[in-house]
Structures are given as structure tokens and as C-alpha cells.
């Protein structure tokens, strides 16, 4: 009998831990919160009835043990230093310059980018896989022992999971950020207000307060979570990079900071910074900046620390401003690719010196996540250089007069039934003749970033679409035949019509990349357009390329190649292009070598090769030259099309990617040997 009980207890524990990992590590829960609670209740019940089977590291203990009498201060084995802050991109660039000076000029540097979570810094200590201590940062030298509360943090395992890849180290100190999610915070605040309590100002205050509660059951109720982002004092775990360390921590079962990646160049790092700043609205936790770290632990050790902070890390922060305001209306706009974007019209409110009266709600999923109704009071935030976004609804201020917003099933412009983007979050109007799309398509085509047509602004476009002058892109050039009719239109005098027509005429001679941009091909902006124009010279040559040939252009990967190829093999597009060509638009000049570049045959013929890390026999340029001489094709990024990767010392993310994709990896010696052995084979004779 008791044996079956023990078995059930063990099964329940394993099952609950599995669900914890699915929920907090993989963000892919398999069961509902209710089902999870039932499992936990059953376990607690058994552990109470059969105390002989209770175990301090059972997941049931995460609800909180006995209250403590007071806090004990404990020194950190390694100080928890602060990080240097910068607030401008120029200062961020100085960080890179400083780093470069600290290292040997021949070394390559990888930077890791992370969100800086606006929570409370925490150190978690595991001895032989068991969580034994949780410490606050305190003054950096010593912190408060909050172990009783650390145990209740969601997703923090009471004991680590060993795996073949990652055995349990004897001593592991993981550092990170404790936080409360935005949605949990909204509920917490609503409950406080309902109970007549003074509500917390923000999630960080609520987290800090919760960690300093004496009664862990109260702390558990706040639903604190944790992201690991660094390593403290460790024994028995040595890893060459920060990324490898985070991966090890994740394998052991501790949630790590999300959206963390390593980048091989400063340019790529900066690009990612911009991307992350644009994605802020998708996060369910507060962020007050980005953190950039050198990936290599060896390089870090050589850079060392100043008296205050490590030299290999910097925080790129921004001031955050938020305001409460009311949602007056929610409308939906249709963009140039037919995307329906919900937009909240707000009671105007001043945030950080500017008046905010509208804010994008991005897509239907975001709208659902916020649960916003018309008439709701909401918190709108403006963080640094970022456009305002809606943080949360102040549900406790609802009066019952708010009205639900129903996302339209039909395009608000043309009434066509809308569709959901394949695999995406966007809802689109599929009607290519939709006036909203036409308007947006024309506006973009005529804009400065594309064909730069003087005199053709949005107001005039709206007017011309409305009067049937513009029903397609090529109609722009038909306007030249309708001068007299145009002069009859509202607000259009003879002079402005002539200016417009001159502007349109001039646009026929724009460089090819502008036309390519103006065609609004998915994923094709200015950079890709210029790359295509430079590589192939003329539009006809571009259209004649296969998907594979397109993908071989440096700035273009398989995704963009697919998009370009598909675009140019669509019937309406071909018709449009034929018309535009007839109107005499600049089609570009076919390169003298419409004929393919001379093919060098050699031992590496037909092989696409990526080189990474530092080599002993070659410089970066000389190995590329060498590969070309041997008939191969050197490229910069690893994909499934890569035949092999030559990896030197300190190879980083490209090597990881190659291993992930199963691309063959050669050392420098193996590579040289391969070329030598192939060279001795006599070339085929005809």
C-alpha cells in the first residue's frame, strides 16, 4: 500500500516538475493552470498524510514554508558589481572603441545582447544541485538572505536536472533578475485597489517588497519569476563563452534571459539593439535598457574590472515615462500590403514633452493580450527614443460603461473578408484592388525612399484614387495623357498639374534600385534593392534569376530570394512591369556579363565555404582569395547551402550554427589537406 503511495508521490513530483519546465523554460505549457493546481493539491495532500515521504526539495514546497524572524546579512563570495550605464548611441560606440583597445588588434570580438529587465538583482546558490541560498544584491559586497522567498519564485527549481550534456556542478551561483510579469502585476494591483490598499507603483517595487517579506506564503502569492543572466562563484563548471554558460544553466532547469544572442560584428550588434527596441511592446515584463557583454570569458578575464564595474559590459539605458489616459476610440487602418493595424485614439496626454493622442496596438494578438476596451483607462509608456506603446489596462477603474472592441472580419475600406497571414499574427485584406492598399502602395512608390516623385503626396493620391484617375501603379504614368482633365480637379491649377507631370516624368529616369524599392516586394528595402541592382544591372536579368541564384547574392538569404522570385513570377506583377517598361522607366543596363562570371574550376568547384575564427596560415582576405582561386565560393553566413565551414581559433556563432545545421566543419589543417589532395587529381579532359 505505502509503496504505491510513494510511487504516486514520485510520479506527481516528476510530472509537476516537467510542467514547470514546459511553462517557465520553454513557454509551451501543455495543461491549464487549473489542471496544474489539481496536481499540486494532490501532492500536498499525500505529503501531509504520509509525512515520511515529504522532501524539502519537493515542488510542493514552492508555495512557501514557515515565516522567518528577520534577515541575516551574508557576504557574496564574488562581489556583485554594478554596470556602467550609457544613454546615447554615440556613447555606446565608445564602449566598442574602448574594448577594441583592450584587446589584440587581430582578435575578433563577439557581443551578446540582452534585455535589461527592470526587476531586482538576485543571486541563487546551488550546492550539488540543491537550492541552498538566495541573496539580494545589497551593497554588492553583502546581501540579505532571502532563501525562504527565493524558493517560492516561479520557475526556479529547488533542485537542478542533470543531463548527458550538462552534469550537475558541485557549486553553482547563478545571478539574474527577479521580476513580476506585467499581466500578473495588473491583477495584483487590481486586487490591492479592490481591498482598499495602497497599490504598488510599478512591478519592480512589488518584486522588491515581496522578496523582503518575512512570510514566504505571502511572497509566493505575488508570483515572482526569475531570469538568469550571469554567473557568480562556481566550482566544476568551466565554459568558454557567456552563451555556453547560459545554455548550461538552461539545461540545468533555470530560466534564462530571453532574446539573448551573440553577434560577430559591432554593426550586427547595433542592428539587434534597434530590433530589440522595436519589440519592446511584445514583452510581458518591464525593461529599462539593453545590456551588451563580451561573449568570450577569456577576453573578459583579460579586460578585467575598474573599481566600480567590469570593463566588458555596458548597459544602454533609457528614461521611461508613462502616463495614464483614456481610450476614446479604436480604429483599424489598412497598410500597403493590406495589413490591418488597430490604432487607439487617446485622450491627449503629455509624455516626456510631447503630446500623445494615438498609439498603435500592432495586431489582433496584441489587442487580445491587453484586453483593452473603448473607454478604458490605460497606461501608455514612452521609453527613450521609442514610439509610445500601451502597457496595460487599469482594469480597476472600469465603470461598466466601456464597450468591447470587435476586430473586423471585413476590410474597413473595401469590405472584403480578411484573412490571417500564414503562420503570422497579422490580419490582411487579400483584395489587391483594395483602395486602402492602392493608396498606401502609391504613397510608398512616390515617397522619398522610393521613386521620389515631387508633387505626388498623400492628399493628392487620395483625391486621384477617389476620382478614378489612379486604379493601379502604372496609372501614375497615364496621368501625363490626362492633363486637361486634371486641371479641372479641386485645388489643382495649371501650374501645379504641370509640376506634378514634370515630377512624374523625371521619375522615369530614377536609378533601378529606386524602382525595385518602390515595387514594395516583401523583405526588399533599400539595401536589398541596391544589392540586386548592383549585382545584376537590369531588371530583366533579375527576373531571369532562379531562386538559388538570387540567394547567392551577399545581402540576400533564402527567405528574401524566395520572396523576390515569387514576386516576379506572379501574373499581375508581370503585367504591371510590362506596362511600366512601355512607359520608358529606367530598367537598368544588363551587365556586360549577362554571361555568368568566368568559372574557375579547381578542387573547390561548386563548394560554398564559410570561414570563421582566426587562422594561422591565412588572413581573412587571403583565404577568400585562395578559395576563389580554387574554384570555390566564400560566403559570410552559414546556411544549409554551405558545403563546409573552416573553423579557426575562437570560432563563435558561425561554428555553433554550422553544428546546429549539421554542416561539415574542417580545421584549417584539414582544409589545406583537402585542397592539396584534390589538386593532385588530374583535371577532367574533354
Q: Is 118 in the site for Zn ion (CB under 5 A)?
A: no
Alpha-carbon distance 647 to 347, whole Å? 58
Listed residue (520, 555, 506) closest to 450, CA to CA:
520
Q: Which long-range contacts (CB under 8 A, 24 or more apart) does 29-32 make?
A: none
Looking at the Cβ atoms of 322 and 440, the one nearer to Zn ion is 440
Looking at the Cβ atoms of 220 and 429, the one nearer to Zn ion is 429
Q: Is 414 in the site for Zn ion (CB under 5 A)?
A: yes
Contact region with Zn ion (CB under 5 A), list: 206-214, 278-286, 416-424, 603-611: 416-424
Contact region with Zn ion (CB under 5 A), list: 293-301, 350-358, 398-406, 421-429: 421-429
Binding mask 507-546 for Zn ion (x = CB under 5 A): ----------------------------------------
| 459 noted as active-site residue | no
Least distance (Å) from Zn ion to the CB of residue 187? 38
How does strand 644-647 pair with strand 664-666? parallel
- How far the first Cα of the chain sits from its last, in Å, is 84
* Buried-exposed string 527-545: b where 16+ CB fall within 10 A, e elsewhere: ebbbbbbebbbbbebbbeb
Q: Is 366 in the site for Zn ion (CB under 5 A)?
A: no
Contact region with Zn ion (CB under 5 A), list: 415-423, 488-496, 591-599, 677-685: 415-423
Q: Is 429 in the site for Zn ion (CB under 5 A)?
A: yes
- Let me know: does 251 contact 228? Beta carbons within 8 Å: no
Taking the C-alpha atoms of 481, 485, 490 and 494 in order, what is their torsion angle to the nearest 10 degrees? 70
Least distance (Å) from Zn ion to the CB of residue 522? 18
Looking at the Cβ atoms of 131 and 434, the one nearer to Zn ion is 434
Looking at the Cβ atoms of 119 and 342, the one nearer to Zn ion is 342
Contact region with Zn ion (CB under 5 A), list: 28-36, 64-72, 424-432, 632-640: 424-432
Listed residue (334, 361, 367, 336) closest to 346, CA to CA:
361
Alpha-carbon distance 239 to 300, whole Å? 13
Q: Is 340 in the site for Zn ion (CB under 5 A)?
A: no
Exactly one of 114, 286, 413, 440 binds Zn ion (CB under 5 A); that residue is 413
Least distance (Å) from Zn ion to the CB of residue 523? 22
Looking at the Cβ atoms of 414 and 502, the one nearer to Zn ion is 414
Looking at the Cβ atoms of 435 and 557, the one nearer to Zn ion is 435
Least distance (Å) from Zn ion to the CB of residue 437? 6
Looking at the Cβ atoms of 132 and 458, the one nearer to Zn ion is 458
Total residues at interface with Zn ion (CB under 5 A): 7
Looking at the Cβ atoms of 256 and 434, the one nearer to Zn ion is 434
H-only helix segments in 306-457: 364-370, 435-446
Contact region with Zn ion (CB under 5 A), list: 202-210, 352-360, 374-382, 430-438: 430-438
Least distance (Å) from Zn ion to the CB of residue 196? 49
* Buried-exposed string 339-372: b where 16+ CB fall within 10 A, e elsewhere: bbbbebebeebebeeeebeebbbbbbebbebbeb
Alpha-carbon distance 99 to 334, whole Å? 46
- Let me know: does 494 contact 487? Beta carbons within 8 Å: yes
Q: What is the CB neighbour count within 10 angstroms for residue 476?
A: 23
Contact region with Zn ion (CB under 5 A), list: 23-31, 365-373, 422-430, 503-511: 422-430
* Buried-exposed string 9-25: b where 16+ CB fall within 10 A, e elsewhere: beebbeebbebbbebbb
User: Which one of the listed residues 41, 62, 101, 116 is annotated catalytic?
Assistant: 116
* Interface positions, 432-451, toward Zn ion (CB under 5 A): 434
3-state secondary structure of 130: strand
How does strand 120-127 pair with strand 130-136? antiparallel
Least distance (Å) from Zn ion to the CB of residue 417? 10
Looking at the Cβ atoms of 118 and 413, the one nearer to Zn ion is 413
CA distances from 146 to 125, 139, 152 (A): 12, 15, 10
Q: What is the CB neighbour count within 10 angstroms for residue 58?
A: 20
3-state secondary structure of 20: helix
Least distance (Å) from Zn ion to the CB of residue 419? 11
Looking at the Cβ atoms of 21 and 336, the one nearer to Zn ion is 336
Give strand pairing partners of 56: none
495 class by beta-carbon count within 10 Å (0-12 exposed, 13-18 middle, 19+ buried):
exposed
Least distance (Å) from Zn ion to the CB of residue 360? 19
Q: Is 411 in the site for Zn ion (CB under 5 A)?
A: yes
Least distance (Å) from Zn ion to the CB of residue 425? 19
Least distance (Å) from Zn ion to the CB of residue 567? 20
Q: Is 502 in the site for Zn ion (CB under 5 A)?
A: no
Alpha-carbon distance 229 to 607, whole Å? 39
Q: Which long-range contacts (CB under 8 A, 24 or more apart) does 50-57 make?
A: 50/2, 50/5, 50/6, 50/9, 53/5, 53/6, 53/9, 55/13, 56/158, 57/130, 57/131, 57/158, 57/159
Looking at the Cβ atoms of 441 and 507, the one nearer to Zn ion is 441
Alpha-carbon distance 484 to 501, whole Å? 12
Least distance (Å) from Zn ion to the CB of residue 436? 5
Contact region with Zn ion (CB under 5 A), list: 423-431, 466-474, 537-545, 605-613: 423-431
Residues that bind Zn ion (CB under 5 A): 411, 413-414, 416, 429, 431, 434
Residues with a catalytic annotation lie at 116
Amino acid at each position: 500500500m505505502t509503496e504505491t503511495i510513494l510511487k504516486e508521490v514520485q510520479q506527481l513530483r516528476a510530472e509537476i516538475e516537467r510542467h514547470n519546465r514546459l511553462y517557465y523554460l520553454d513557454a509551451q505549457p501543455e495543461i491549464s493552470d487549473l489542471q496544474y493546481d489539481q496536481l499540486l493539491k494532490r501532492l500536498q495532500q499525500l505529503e501531509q498524510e504520509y509525512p515520511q515521504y515529504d522532501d524539502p526539495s519537493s515542488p510542493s514546497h514552492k508555495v512557501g514554508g514557515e515565516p522567518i524572524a528577520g534577515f541575516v546579512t551574508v557576504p557574496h563570495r564574488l562581489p556583485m558589481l554594478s554596470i556602467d550605464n550609457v544613454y546615447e548611441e554615440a556613447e555606446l560606440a565608445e564602449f566598442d572603441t574602448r574594448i577594441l583597445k583592450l584587446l589584440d588588434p587581430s582578435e575578433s570580438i563577439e557581443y551578446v545582447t540582452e534585455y535589461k529587465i527592470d526587476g531586482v538583482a538576485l543571486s541563487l546558490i546551488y550546492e550539488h544541485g540543491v537550492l541552498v541560498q538566495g541573496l539580494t544584491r545589497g551593497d554588492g559586497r553583502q546581501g540579505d538572505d532571502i532563501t525562504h522567498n527565493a524558493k517560492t519564485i516561479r520557475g526556479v527549481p529547488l533542485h537542478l536536472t542533470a543531463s548527458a550534456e550538462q552534469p550537475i556542478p558541485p557549486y553553482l551561483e547563478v545571478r539574474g533578475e527577479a521580476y513580476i510579469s506585467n499581466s500578473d502585476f495588473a491583477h495584483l494591483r487590481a486586487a490591492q485597489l479592490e481591498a482598499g490598499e495602497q497599490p504598488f507603483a510599478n512591478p519592480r517595487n512589488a518584486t522588491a517588497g515581496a522578496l523582503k517579506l518575512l512570510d514566504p506564503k505571502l511572497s509566493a502569492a505575488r508570483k515572482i519569476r526569475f531570469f538568469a543572466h550571469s554567473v557568480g562563484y562556481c566550482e566544476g563548471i568551466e565554459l568558454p563563452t557567456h552563451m555556453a554558460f547560459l545554455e548550461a544553466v538552461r539545461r540545468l532547469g533555470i530560466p534564462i534571459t530571453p532574446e539573448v544572442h551573440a553577434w560577430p560584428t559591432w554593426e550586427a550588434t547595433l542592428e539587434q539593439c534597434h530590433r530589440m527596441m522595436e519589440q519592446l511592446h511584445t514583452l510581458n515584463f518591464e525593461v529599462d535598457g539593453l545590456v551588451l557583454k563580451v561573449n568570450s570569458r577569456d577576453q573578459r578575464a583579460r579586460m578585467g574590472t575598474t573599481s566600480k564595474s567590469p570593463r566588458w559590459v555596458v548597459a544602454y539605458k533609457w528614461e521611461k515615462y508613462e502616463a495614464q489616459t483614456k481610450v476614446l476610440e479604436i480604429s483599424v487602418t489598412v497598410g500597403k500590403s493590406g495589413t490591418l493595424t488597430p490604432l487607439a485614439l487617446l485622450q491627449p496626454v503629455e509624455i516626456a514633452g510631447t503630446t500623445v493622442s494615438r498609439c498603435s496596438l500592432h495586431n489582433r494578438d496584441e489587442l487580445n493580450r491587453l484586453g483593452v476596451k473603448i473607454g478604458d483607462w490605460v497606461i501608455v509608456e514612452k521609453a527613450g527614443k521609442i514610439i509610445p506603446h500601451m502597457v496595460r489596462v487599469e482594469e480597476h477603474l472600469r465603470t461598466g460603461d466601456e464597450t468591447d472592441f470587435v476586430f473586423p472580419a471585413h476590410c474597413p475600406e473595401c469590405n472584403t473578408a480578411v484573412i490571417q497571414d500564414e503562420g503570422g499574427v497579422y490580419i490582411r485584406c487579400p483584395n489587391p484592388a483594395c483602395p486602402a492598399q492602392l493608396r498606401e502602395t502609391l504613397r510608398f512608390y512616390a515617397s522619398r525612399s522610393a521613386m521620389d516623385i515631387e508633387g505626388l503626396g498623400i492628399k493628392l493620391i487620395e483625391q486621384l484614387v477617389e476620382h478614378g484617375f489612379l486604379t493601379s501603379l502604372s496609372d501614375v504614368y497615364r496621368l501625363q495623357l490626362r492633363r486637361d482633365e486634371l486641371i479641372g480637379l479641386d485645388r489643382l491649377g495649371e501650374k501645379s498639374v504641370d509640376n506634378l507631370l514634370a515630377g512624374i516624368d523625371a521619375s522615369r529616369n530614377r536609378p533601378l534600385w529606386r524602382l525595385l524599392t518602390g515595387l514594395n516586394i516583401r523583405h526588399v528595402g533599400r539595401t536589398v534593392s541596391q544589392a540586386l541592382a548592383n549585382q545584376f544591372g537590369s531588371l530583366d536579368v533579375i527576373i531571369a534569376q532562379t531562386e538559388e541564384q538570387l540567394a547567392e547574392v551577399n545581402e540576400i538569404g533564402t527567405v528574401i530570394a524566395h520572396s523576390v522570385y515569387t514576386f516576379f513570377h506572379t501574373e499581375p506583377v508581370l503585367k504591371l512591369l510590362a506596362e511600366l517598361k512601355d512607359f520608358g522607366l529606367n530598367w537598368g543596363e544588363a551587365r556586360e556579363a549577362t554571361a555568368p562570371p568566368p568559372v574557375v574550376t579547381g578542387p573547390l568547384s561548386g563548394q560554398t565555404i564559410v570561414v570563421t575564427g582566426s587562422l594561422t596560415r591565412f588572413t581573412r582576405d587571403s583565404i577568400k582569395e585562395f578559395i576563389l582561386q580554387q574554384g570555390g565560393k566564400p560566403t559570410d553566413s552559414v546556411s544549409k547551402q554551405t558545403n563546409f565551414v573552416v573553423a579557426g581559433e575562437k570560432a563563435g556563432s558561425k561554428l555553433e550554427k554550422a553544428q546546429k545545421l549539421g554542416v561539415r566543419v574542417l580545421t584549417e589543417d584539414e582544409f589545406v589537406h583537402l585542397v592539396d589532395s584534390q589538386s593532385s587529381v588530374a583535371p577532367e579532359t574533354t
